Structure 1
Amino acid sequence: MASPLLAQFSGTAAAASVDDTWGTVSDAWVEIRWTAPAQAQLDRLEAVVEAVPPARLIKGSEGAALRFPVRTGRGEPSLNDLSKARGEGGLDGGLTVRTPQGTFRVTRLRGTLREEVASGTCVVNGVEAGHRSLFRCAVAEGRLTAGQVPASRPLKVRVGDMPLHPTPDLVEAFSATFGKPVFSTGTVLAHLSAEGVYTPPKR
């Protein structure tokens, strides 16, 4: 079951252009809470999601979520215009997806955000996988909170409930492996929240 899906995602994730305008991210986490359509797709596949520590599975009234510590991160948050935010980072931990057809352990997660499109790489059952286009991030719909500090000082930033839509590439790859999905490019598959300390680059 994994082989066809990995073949679809055997490309290289889009590289972000790192420059001296990027700062660093520390003391950070990323949380992905999947929606009812995403859970419906998991149920159709009889799939169960578990966290690989130090990631944590969180269950609440709004559904289930995975929270990952951020191992490394760099970027430009573009607080005045979130649609221009850019960055890349690696997450600690991972997830395991158990299905009747097999178990898939996903680790070494790395993501890149550019022009509101997220790409990523990971290791699935020991095999490296990546793709240039996974999710379209509705950045402007997320809730932004940031502290008030001088421009050159570290700043705590939080983004809450940013909708994630599957890209056409993701829908096509999923369809080729599992058949027609219950979701489309117009579906919100998950909401992303993140928090961390952004340290601007030294001038």
Structure 2
Amino acid sequence: MGVSRRSVLGGVLSSPLLAATALSPSADAAEVLGTAQDGWLEILWTALVQTETDRRGTTVEAIAPAELIQRDGRRGLRFPLRSAQGDPALANPAHAQGTAAADGGFVLREAAAEVRVTRLAGDVRDEQMSARYMVNNVDSGVRPMFTWHTAEGVLSVVPGVLGAPATLKMSNLPVRMTREMVDLVTTSMRSFGFPDITTDTVVAHVTIQGSYLSPLS
């Protein structure tokens, strides 16, 4: 079965969002994982993605409690996070791992089509994420989808006091598609007139923050 134009565009728009939903690994040793609370993420699409949505007359609508945002002339979405656990690996953040889910969702609308993306969840390990979500109430399944280089973002840590959670924030992190995701959508993207996307193409920048409680606290 081919990949529709709607699913291609949905994949490009949702890729950085899904990558951000994993605060840090689903993990083999649950006893070493901390938990995160009061988390949120923001995604701002790159000019490439935004230009393409504008050219096609595609609109994006947030599904509450998600919200539409605008920063420095760029558009995107903000989502609250829930059910987050993991290990931020502060000594070497490139090895952070964890799972999380985002509340809310978003709707993509074109003249004769609508795509609803909900139940967003991600599993991160070593700068790569597998994601799962619902598209028009159909389960997307799970596959390696998105990558990033942690050193390209800005990590800030505000330590907690006397066992209180630490506040962790990763800002302006560029997000790209994995080879598997690029291979999946490339043929259809070309046939529908989308610009080429490679594993080096940044599709969005993500900022994510949460209060992290270490299992040793």
Query: TM-score normalised to the size of structure 1?
Result: 0.86
**1:158–1:65 distance in 2 versus 1, CA, 3 Å:** same
Q: 1:190 corresponds to which residue?
A: 204
Shift of 1:17: 2.4
> For the residues of structure 2 that align with 1:82 and 1:145, how far apart are their CA atoms?
11
Letter in 1 for 2:211: V
Count of residue pairs brought into register by the alignment: 196
> Which letter does structure 2 place at the counterpart of 1:29?
W
- The gaps in structure 2 that reach 5 residues or longer are 12-24
- Tell whether the 8 Å contact from 2:40 to 2:81 is kept in structure 1 after alignment: yes
Cα distance in structure 2, aligned partners of 1:186 and 1:101: 32
Q: Which position in structure 1 is the counterpart of 2:128? A: 117
Equivalent-residue separation in structure 2 for 1:131 and 1:41 (angstroms): 26
Q: In the alignment, which of 103, 118, 132 is matched to residue 107 of structure 1?
A: 118
Call closer, same or farther: CA 1:16–1:149 in 2, change over 3 Å.
closer
Shift of 1:100: 2.8
Cα distance per residue 1:75-114 (max 9 Å; x no partner):
1001121100001101100010012341001111001111
- Deviation string 1:6-58 (CA, Å, 9 cap, x unpaired) is 9xx9xxxxx83242111001001011111101113323443211111100000
Whether contact under 8 Å (1:153, 1:200) holds in the other structure is: no
| TM-score, normalised relative to structure 2 | 0.81
Structure ranking higher in helix proportion: 2
Rate the CA distance shift 1:43–1:2 in 2: closer, same or farther, 3 A: farther
Structure 1 regions of 5+ residues with no counterpart?
Answer: 10-14
Aligned with 1:30 (options 35, 41, 63): 41
Q: Secondary structure at the match of 2:211?
A: strand
> What is the aligned counterpart of 1:63 among 61, 74, 89?
74
Residues 108-150 of structure 1: per-residue CA shift (max 9 Å, x gap): 1001111101221111111111342221122111111111346
Equivalent runs, 1:135-174 vs 2, <5 Å: 135-149=146-160, 153-174=164-185
2:89 — aligned with what?
78
Is the 8 Å Cα contact of residues 88 and 113 (structure 1) preserved in structure 2?
yes
Change (3 A) 1:130 1:151: farther
Matched residues in 2 for 1:108 and 1:66: separation? 15
Contact 1:118–1:137 (8 Å) recurs in 2 = no
2:26 pairs with one of 6, 9, 16: 16
Cα deviation, residue 179, structure 1: 2.6
CA RMSD of aligned residues (A): 2.5
1:2–1:101 CA distance, 2 compared to 1 (3 A): farther
* Percent of residue pairs identical: 33
